[in-house]
Amino acid sequence: MDLKDKIMVITGASSGIGRATARRLNQAGVKFVLNARSKDKLEDLAAELDSAVCVVGDMIDPETPQQILDKAFSEFGRVDIVFNNAGVMQIGTIDEADIELLCEMVRLNFESVVRMSYLALRPMKKQGSGFLINSSSLAGLKAFPEIGAYNGTKFAVEALTDSLRMELAGTGVKVTAIEPGRTKTELFNHWPEEKKFKPENGLIEADDIARCLEFILVQPQEVLIPRLLVVPARQER
């Protein structure tokens, strides 16, 4: 795919992998519809980019995905790429975990992905082209203690993504999952200090994921990378 002048939606764009992706793909000539909850951070990022509009909103709100797509069509007339990136990671043992926060995470990490995926893929299928990238994780491939609900959301994203990929084979629309390992983002800021990943044990930068995402997108039309796992070279598990 030639990325110049492609219209890309990024959810959770104000920090981490979403922000890094916008900055990197801006150099390739992509135009953006950016979403996040933080108005100030989102507008600061948009000001850095050559062509970007913002939709401030929480992806947990069922109305937000349609609002984002409406903005894309009103400003640019189409959507070429959707990156379902917004997400959180709640941790805790069975005894410690806040069940309401876990359920809120399920709504953001999976329900919002379902809504945005189906809403975006319908016009993409009609136009005969498009690319959906869902943010999964190493935790969508193997389970870890104390993140059972998070594991569940990412396993669900893997299944959804693969099913949609098969359904849309031959339509000109591609669907894939990016699966980051330990990445230096704000996702872990709220974790207890003793549980945070340490750089000496292996951490990659958000831009490392953005570079891999660009690699997925620029493949020829007849080539699809259905999933891409990206981990630090020093990550043991």
Catalytic residues: 150
H/E segment holding residue 59:
none
Contact (CB, 8 A) for 129 and 79:
no
- 217-236: b or e for each residue (b if 16 or more CB lie within 10 Å)? beeeeeeeeebbebbbeeee
Q: HSE of 65 in the Cβ direction (CA atoms, 13 Å)?
A: 21
Q: 83: helix, coil or strand?
A: strand
Q: Of the candidates 119, 105, 106, which has an alpha carbon nearest to the alpha carbon of residue 64?
A: 119
Taking the alpha carbons at both ends of the chain, their separation in whole angstroms is 33
